[in-house]
């Protein structure tokens, strides 16, 4: 693309330099975090979980162009699925827990998708809102299964399946980190594929895509289900991390919470959502220390400020800064 | 064979009939021009033919199959393609991305989720070929919204050609183009051969009279005349309604 | 009283509150194109202001209702002038802003008035009951029906019979032409936003006679508004009436037949409408 040819060694080195931020972050996550005190590891675990959650939403709003305020429904449902399996049925297997949670989330996404996609444009926000609240109502009312408003507490970290293995905070951190890596790579691949490009086309001009022969409804539906599936991954990991899953985890307020992460980090980039998650969870942590009761007020303030002044995304901003540095130093 | 057939087509918006009882057919390889004053219903006709709008009454047949209620994407899969009068491009994507999406079109591979789109070399080759016909290959990485109007119109045509359609609907293909650009588009379209049937809407009478095998004239949603360029030029009703032809006919005779 | 008649009256009075709320929302959406997700929160704020005026300070209930409406309207003006105006024409962003305001308004309400539930309150004149067909029926509900009818007629008259209504409808249909015709659309939008929010706050105080007030109410209220919109369709008084009427009936009979799961009949109705006629029963094709 207009760059002068270089020796293959130099090209290799160039590639490494260009990916420096990613390498640094990876090194940080792999080696530095486990050396930190427990509360930092726990925070990092929570960040990675919400990063998966946010990236899944970015697929919907940033690529397929479907605005959703009900994404927490899949997150929460998966959490409940895993929680119920562990608490009500005492199944001590993390893989079964993951499978049941993810399957439940995917199923619900498949059902909700049909209803939500009936709406044109901005209406999808209303319907996803309503569907999210529907699941919230269900969670509060179906006390025999979900334990209602108190939430399903006492969710243990089920066994990994390796004999002699005992979970601790650091091991779970690494588990979640691996899950995050897998999800990140999958989503990254997905958005670069023909399918991902088709979604972007639909977001940019659905009528043209239809005229070009794309069954746009089907693409959006599949995207909806995939997004729900990945949200489910996050939901299960969250349930195990917190030890409790409550109806609030399904509610619209949680959907708004994760949407803020996507916007703050940068819509339509996948990595932006992850950075947004890190940002917002960190703010939540420190705000929570200052004032437990006024956190929603601060969150609302951050929300408003982000939309007003930072809606291009903080993650995107830093990425473009880095690209400028590369250009300037001729990398 | 009748590639496209339209029977008694009407389209009503509220109390107004945009199209009233329009009927015609098009044979394979034919170049049919749809002309008429502004508001005559030409773009509405295209929208109904391509499926963006549904007909109030009447039927449309493509390759002798009824498609009146068929969704637009299915018509595209049957071999129909169109360009839009107001450029309907993906403005925030690059020229190349626009073209690849058009080429990928109705293929099953557009559901492929695992390989990067850059792995599909054949699509790139095709994109290069298509974009080169309108000198857009050099701009392949430019964002469409940063291009000039003429370049956007050219891309608009390129997108409609990408699927190698059997029936091509061009809505004002040369509007907004310079003479040289228009001539280029005419060359590209003429080069399409008899496998492609072309319907086009145009106001440029030179283009219409030279490129069309047959012309249909619409006025307030009704067909008021149908025939070869010579027949249309001689038609008094057409002259009465559409003064431009009268003048050009006089000019043509003078040469 | 005949149980059916009782439920019908309940349906109508509940529907009246829903109508008041949803018509404000619909008006704002129609003119500004913004889905004001904080509309439910405005209802709650209005109710709290009414409570403070009428119950905490013992001042006239009706003044409280007025105050509730005014405060809600004032908040809408702040939202509009301070924030929406800077995001001119960015509808998605404006809607997300309103969502941010929900967090703020909810938490502020909680901060100022505390988390506990406030029992239903109303004007002393309405705290009794009227006798209908030999049985007592709460006067406050009758008043709500009456107010609902008055406002419905007023809005319908405004929509269909006045120049202002014509301007609003023009703005909904085609903004460019409306502007070209010299209609001061930004002013119309601001006024519509204020009026819609005022109605929400006012309805909050009036409706508190039936629902009471508590902080988490804003989301459930918002959901009901959305249900009315989805079922009845947005953009016309008639559509909102239909939606509110159906929802009122579902709620009343749902609560009578399956008290614990009444909410789900609402969701069911929404889903059915979405699958059969996505733009709502009287909705304009979106």
CATH number, domain containing residue B172: 3.40.50.300
Cβ of residue A310 closer than 8 Å to a chain C Cβ? no
| Cβ under 8 Å to A: B residues 223-252 | none
- B127 occurs within a structural domain: no
Q: What's the domain count of chain B?
A: 1
Contact between residue A228 and residue A239 where contact means Cβ atoms under 8 Å apart: no
Please give the Cα distance from A234 to A48 (Å, whole number).
Answer: 9
At residue C286, the pLDDT reads 45
Q: Which residues does chain A have with pLDDT short of 50? A: 1-4
| Interface contact flag, B113 A195, Cβ < 8 Å | yes
| Interface contact flag, A304 C91, Cβ < 8 Å | no
Stretch B123-132: mean pLDDT: 90
Task: Please count the residues of chain C.
Answer: 286
Q: Which residues of C touch A123 (CB under 8 A)?
A: 230, 278, 286
β-pairing verdict for B197-201 and B16-27: unpaired
- B147 occurs within a structural domain: no
Q: Which residues of A touch C279 (CB under 8 A)?
A: 120
At residue C1, the pLDDT reads 57
Chain A nearest CA to C59, separation (Å):
30
Contact between residue C151 and residue C20 where contact means Cβ atoms under 8 Å apart: yes
- C254 occurs within a structural domain: no
The parent domain of residue C161 ranges over 19-216
Q: What is the largest CA-CA distance in chain B?
A: 64
Cβ of residue A57 closer than 8 Å to a chain C Cβ? no
- C263 occurs within a structural domain: no
Size of interface A-B (CB pairs under 8 A): 103
| Interface contact flag, C95 A125, Cβ < 8 Å | yes
Which residues, in sequence order, are bridge partners of residue B34?
B201, B216
B178: which residues sit within 8 A by CB, 6+ positions away?
B150
What ranges make up the beta strands (E) of A46-176? 152-153
Least confident of B64-68, B97-101, B233-237: B233-237
Give the residue from chain C lying closest to A121, CA to CA: C286
- C280 occurs within a structural domain: no
- C282 occurs within a structural domain: no
pLDDT over threshold 70, residue C20: yes
C280: which residues sit within 8 A by CB, 6+ positions away?
C229, C230, C231, C232, C233, C234, C239, C243, C273
pLDDT class of B247 with cuts at 50, 70, 90: low
pLDDT over threshold 90, residue B192: no
Q: How many CA atoms lie within 13 A of B56 on its CB side?
A: 15
Stretch B207-223: mean pLDDT: 88
Chain A nearest CA to B239, separation (Å):
35
At residue C173, the pLDDT reads 66
Q: Is B7 a catalytic residue?
A: no
* DSSP calls for C78-146: HHHHHTGGGGTT-HHHHHHHHHHHHHHHHHHHHHHH-SSPBPP---GGGSSEEEETTEEEEHHHHHHHH
**Residue A311 backbone zone (phi > 0: left; psi -120 to 50: alpha; other: beta):** alpha
Least confident of B85-99, B238-252, C39-53: B238-252
- B238 occurs within a structural domain: yes
Q: What's the domain count of chain C?
A: 1
Please give the Cα distance from A105 to C16 (Å, whole number).
Answer: 37
C227-273 per-position pLDDT tens digit: 998 898 877 788 888 999 999 888 888 877 777 777 788 888 888 88
β-pairing verdict for C129-132 and C135-138: antiparallel
| Interface contact flag, A195 B110, Cβ < 8 Å | yes
Strands in B167-171's sheet, in edge-to-edge order, are B80-83, B167-171, B197-201, B31-35, B214-219, B222-227
A74: which residues sit within 8 A by CB, 6+ positions away?
A56, A105, A106, A108, A109, A227, A228, A229, A231, A232, A235
pLDDT class of B176 with cuts at 50, 70, 90: confident
| Cβ under 8 Å to A: B residues 24-83 | 50-52, 71-73, 76-77, 81-82
| Cβ under 8 Å to B: A residues 165-194 | 189-190, 192-194
At residue A2, the pLDDT reads 43
pLDDT over threshold 50, residue B82: yes
The CA dihedral of B107, B112, B116, B119, to the nearest 10 degrees, is -50
Q: Which residues of A touch C36 (CB under 8 A)?
A: none
| Interface contact flag, A307 C226, Cβ < 8 Å | no
- C146 occurs within a structural domain: yes
- C273 occurs within a structural domain: no
**Residue A151 backbone zone (phi > 0: left; psi -120 to 50: alpha; other: beta):** left
Q: How many CA atoms lie within 13 A of C9 on its CB side?
A: 21
Within chain C, where are the H helices?
A: 3-32, 39-51, 61-82, 91-113, 139-161, 163-173, 175-180, 185-211, 217-232, 237-257, 262-276
| Interface contact flag, A119 C278, Cβ < 8 Å | yes
- B245 occurs within a structural domain: yes
Chain B nearest CA to A65, separation (Å):
13
Nearest to A313, CA basis, from A74, A58, A29: A58
Stretch B229-240: mean pLDDT: 84
Q: Which residues of B touch A208 (CB under 8 A)?
A: 84, 88-90, 159
Of the residues B172, B179, B181, B226, which is catalytic?
B172
A89-93 CB contacts, 8 Å cutoff, 24+ apart: A91/A158, A92/A156, A92/A158, A92/A159, A93/A158, A93/A159, A93/A161
Q: Which residues of A touch C111 (CB under 8 A)?
A: 293-294, 297
| Interface contact flag, C278 A123, Cβ < 8 Å | yes
Mutation for testing the B interface, residue in A211, A218, A221 having most B CBs under 10 Å: A211
C100-115 per-position pLDDT tens digit: 999 999 999 999 988 8
- B84 occurs within a structural domain: yes
Please give the Cα distance from B118 to B116 (Å, whole number).
Answer: 5
Chains that touch A (3 or more CB pairs under 8 A): B, C
At residue B249, the pLDDT reads 59
Task: Name the more confident of C179 and B235.
Answer: B235
At residue A55, the pLDDT reads 97
- B210 occurs within a structural domain: yes
Nearest to B144, CA basis, from B102, B184, B182, B96: B96
* Cα A79–Cα A83–Cα A86 angle in degrees, nearest 5: 150
Mutation for testing the C interface, residue in A123, A132, A203, A283 having most C CBs under 10 Å: A123
What ranges make up the beta strands (E) of chain B? 2-13, 16-27, 31-35, 57-62, 65-66, 80-83, 167-171, 197-201, 214-219, 222-227
* Mean pLDDT of all residues belonging to chain B: 87
Stretch C67-93: mean pLDDT: 87
C118-155 per-position pLDDT tens digit: 877 777 777 777 777 777 788 888 888 888 889 888 88
Cβ neighbours around A155 below 10 Å, total:
24
Structure tokens at C177: 């032409």
The parent domain of residue B8 ranges over 2-88+165-254
User: Are chains A and C in touch, 3+ Cβ pairs below 8 Å?
Assistant: yes
Please give the Cα distance from C61 to C41 (Å, whole number).
Answer: 20
From residue C42, give the alpha-carbon distance in Å to each of B174, C19, C50, C196, C241. Answer: 54, 15, 12, 10, 21
Q: Is A246 helix (H, G, I), strand (E, B) or coil?
A: coil
Provide φ and ψ at B101, rounded to 5°: -60, -40
| Interface contact flag, B76 A222, Cβ < 8 Å | no
Chain C nearest CA to A201, separation (Å):
19
pLDDT over threshold 70, residue B76: yes
* Mean pLDDT of all residues belonging to chain C: 84
Cβ of residue C136 closer than 8 Å to a chain A Cβ? no
Contact between residue A195 and residue B111 where contact means Cβ atoms under 8 Å apart: yes
- B213 occurs within a structural domain: yes
| Interface contact flag, B105 A207, Cβ < 8 Å | no
Stretch B161-173: mean pLDDT: 92
- C150 occurs within a structural domain: yes
- C99 occurs within a structural domain: yes
- Residue A304 has its nearest CB partner, among C35, C101, C275, at C101
Provide φ and ψ at C226, rounded to 5°: -60, -40
| Interface contact flag, C264 A120, Cβ < 8 Å | no
């Amino acid at each position: 693309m207009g760059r002068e040819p270089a020796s293959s060694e130099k090209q290799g080195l160039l590639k490494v330099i260009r990916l420096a931020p990613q390498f640094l972050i990876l090194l940080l996550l792999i080696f530095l975090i486990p050396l930190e005190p427990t509360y930092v590891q726990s925070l990092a675990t929570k960040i990675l979980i919400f990063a998966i959650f946010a990236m899944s939403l970015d697929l919907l709003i940033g690529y397929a162009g479907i605005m959703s305020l009900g994404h927490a429904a899949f997150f929460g449902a998966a959490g409940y699925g895993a929680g119920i399996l562990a608490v009500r049925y005492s199944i001590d297997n993390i893989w079964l827990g993951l499978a049941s949670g993810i399957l439940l989330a995917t199923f619900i996404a498949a059902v909700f998708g049909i209803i939500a996609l009936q709406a044109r444009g901005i209406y999808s926000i209303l319907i996803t809102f309503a569907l999210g609240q529907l699941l919230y109502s269900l969670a509060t009312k179906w006390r025999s299964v979900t334990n209602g408003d108190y939430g399903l507490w006492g969710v243990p970290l089920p066994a990994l399946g390796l004999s002699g293995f005992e979970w601790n905070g650091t091991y779970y951190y690494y588990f979640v980190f691996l899950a995050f890596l897998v999800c990140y790579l999958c989503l990254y691949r997905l958005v670069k594929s023909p399918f991902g490009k088709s979604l972007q086309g639909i977001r940019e001009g659905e009528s043209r895509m239809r005229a070009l022969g794309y069954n746009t409804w089907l693409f959006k539906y599949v995207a909806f289900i995939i997004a729900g599936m990945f949200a489910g991954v996050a939901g299960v990991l969250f349930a195990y991390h917190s030890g409790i899953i409550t109806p609030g985890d399904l509610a619209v307020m949680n959907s708004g919470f994760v949407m803020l992460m996507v916007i703050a980090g940068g819509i339509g980039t996948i990595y932006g959502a992850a950075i947004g998650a890190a940002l917002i969870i960190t703010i939540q942590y420190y705000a929570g220390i200052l004032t437990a009761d006024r956190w929603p007020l601060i969150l609302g303030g951050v929300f408003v400020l982000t939309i007003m002044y930072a809606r291009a995304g903080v993650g995107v901003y830093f990425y473009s800064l880095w690209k400028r540095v590369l250009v300037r130093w001729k990398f | 064979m009748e590639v496209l057939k339209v029977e008694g087509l009407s389209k009503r918006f509220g109390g107004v009939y945009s199209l009233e009882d329009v009927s015609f057919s098009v044979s394979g390889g034919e170049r049919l021009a749809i002309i008429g004053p502004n508001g005559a219903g030409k773009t509405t006709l295209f929208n109904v033919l391509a499926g963006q709008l549904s007909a109030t009454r009447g039927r449309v047949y493509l390759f002798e199959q009824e498609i009146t209620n068929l969704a637009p994407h299915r018509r595209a899969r049957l071999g129909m393609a169109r360009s839009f009068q107001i450029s309907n491009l993906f403005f925030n994507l690059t020229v190349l991305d626009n073209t690849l999406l058009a080429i990928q079109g109705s293929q099953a591979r557009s559901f492929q989720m695992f390989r990067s789109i850059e792995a599909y070399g054949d699509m790139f080759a095709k994109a290069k070929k298509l974009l080169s016909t309108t000198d857009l290959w050099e701009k392949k990485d430019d964002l469409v919204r940063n291009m000039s109007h003429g370049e956007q119109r050219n891309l608009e045509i390129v997108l409609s050609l990408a699927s190698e359609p059997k029936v091509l609907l061009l809505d004002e293909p040369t509007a907004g183009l310079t003479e040289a650009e228009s001539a280029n588009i005419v060359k590209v379209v003429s080069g399409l051969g008899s496998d492609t049937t072309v319907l086009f809407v145009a106001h440029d009478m030179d283009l219409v009279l030279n490129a069309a095998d047959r012309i249909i004239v619409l006025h307030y949603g009704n067909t008021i005349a149908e025939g070869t360029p010579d027949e249309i030029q001689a038609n008094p009703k057409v002259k009465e309604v559409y003064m431009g032809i009268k003048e050009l006919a006089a000019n043509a005779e003078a040469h | 009283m005949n149980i059916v008649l009782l439920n019908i009256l309940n349906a109508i009075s509940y529907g009246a509150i829903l109508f008041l709320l949803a018509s404000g929302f619909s008006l704002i959406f129609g003119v500004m194109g913004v889905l004001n997700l904080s509309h439910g929160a405005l209802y709650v704020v209005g109710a709290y202001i009414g409570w403070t005026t009428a119950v905490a300070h013992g001042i006239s209930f009706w003044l409280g209702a007025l105050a509730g409406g005014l405060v809600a309207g004032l908040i809408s003006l702040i939202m509009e002038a301070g924030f929406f105006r800077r995001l001119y024409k960015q509808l998605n962003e404006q809607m997300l802003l309103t969502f941010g305001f929900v967090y703020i308004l909810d938490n502020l309400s909680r901060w100022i008035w505390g988390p506990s539930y406030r029992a239903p309150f109303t004007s002393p004149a309405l705290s009794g009951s009227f006798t209908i067909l030999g049985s007592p029926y709460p006067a406050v509900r009758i008043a709500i029906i009456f107010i609902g009818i008055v406002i419905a007629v007023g809005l319908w008259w405004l929509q269909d019979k006045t120049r202002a209504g014509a301007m609003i409808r023009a703005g909904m249909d085609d903004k460019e032409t409306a502007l070209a015709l010299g209609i001061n659309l930004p002013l119309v939008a601001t006024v519509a936003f204020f009026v819609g929010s005022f109605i929400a706050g006012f309805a909050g105080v009036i409706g508190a006679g039936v629902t009471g007030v508590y902080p988490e109410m804003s989301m459930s209220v918002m959901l009901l508004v959305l249900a009315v919109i989805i079922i009845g369709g947005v953009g016309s008084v008639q559509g909102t009436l239909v939606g509110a009427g159906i929802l009122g009936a579902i709620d009343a009979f749902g609560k009578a037949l399956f008290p614990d799961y009444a909410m789900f009949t609402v969701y069911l109705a929404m889903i059915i409408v979405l699958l059969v006629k996505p733009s709502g029963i009287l909705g304009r094709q979106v």
